[in-house]
Amino acid sequence: MPRKVIGECKLCNNVKLLCDSHYMPKRLYALLRAWQLKNPNPVTGVGGELKQMSDQYRGHVFCHDCEDLLNKNGEKWVLANIPKDYGSEFPLHAAINRLTPKAAGKNYVLCDVTGEQGFNVKQLVYFGISVFWRGGVHVWKTSTGQRAPSVDLYGEEESMRRFLLGDASLPDTVVLTLDVWPYKKVLQMLYPVLPNHLGGCPRYWFYVLGLLYALYLGNNIPTGARSRSAKDGFVAVDQNAADSVLEYTKHGLKSQRQGPKITEMHEAIAKVRSMTPPKQ
């Protein structure tokens, strides 16, 4: 029987019965499981090391009401609009490809998705901010004690908390951007919030099943980031950004810091993909 924990909810700041909360949505791990493999657990990037994890980052952090708020304002919609399996349909990819870009460059397009079919800007922004904020206000651990990478929100914890509660808009010192994966087959990976700071501007990113979010903080946010703010309805398709995630993944796969099950996993994947479907 799950133990009951009474404490201060990190979102509403009230002392209540706390839920067994998850850093990344619990249902996301189910979407990332490869049921064809002997070990179906998803691959997660943890401190530069790739691991297949059945365990999840969790803790008694939010009350039931705030869990419900996080779910209905972002998680539920986002999880319904990302691929359900390797090579399966990606609704947001199809939706953005129907639009006329507001700006374009080499391997890059920027679209205003405000009011466009297939997009819910409020839900996408809320989900992104909620994940970054969660990473900054709690030390998330697995049941075995593995810690998620630390996140410093540089004093913006309260402004982001008030946004998530619906009490305030995001300040100018917080800018969120969003890229939709450009390729038909979406990278089946999960990266929790990781740093990638610019000179004078703190920046973090995370990736889940075709969605690449970035968070810029402070007074030195580049004009280019502000011009593609997700809260203003802008979403990009950026091949260079996607390729950077792929390179980061490849580097992790080649690194000596791979988790012990990664080689076994790749052998299993190769075996599954080499199979030809039976003749009808």
Q: Is the pLDDT of residue 267 over 80?
A: no
For 36, counting Cβ atoms within 10 Å of its Cβ (0-12 exposed, 13-18 middle, 19+ buried), the class is middle
Q: Is the dihedral of CA 102, 94, 250, 47 positive or negative?
A: positive
Kindly state whether residue 115 falls inside one of the protein's structural domains: yes
Q: Determine whether 100 is exposed, middle or buried from the number of CB atoms within 10 Å of its CB (0-12, 13-18, 19+).
A: exposed
- Report the number of distinct structural domains present in the chain: 1
212 inside domain: yes
Q: Two tokens at 59?
A: 């803790």
Residue 190 domain boundaries: 5-274
36 belongs to a structural domain: yes
What pLDDT, on the 0 to 100 scale, is given for residue 32?
67
User: Cα(121)–Cα(56) distance, rounded to whole angstroms?
Assistant: 28
Tens digit of pLDDT for each residue in 106-162? 899 999 999 999 999 999 999 999 999 999 999 999 877 888 899 999 999 999 999
Position 150 in a domain: yes
In a domain, 279, yes or no: no
Is 256's pLDDT higher than 50? no
The answer to the question of residue 55 being in a domain is yes
pLDDT attached to residue 268: 46
Residue 280 is assigned to a structural domain of this protein: no
Structure tokens at 161: 């908390």
DSSP track, 42-72: PEEEETTEEEE-SS--EEEEEEHHHHHHHII
How high is the pLDDT of residue 269?
A: 43
Most confident of 118-127, 185-194, 259-268: 118-127
pLDDT at 189: 82
pTM: 0.85
Averaged pLDDT score across all residues of the chain: 85
In a domain, 182, yes or no: yes
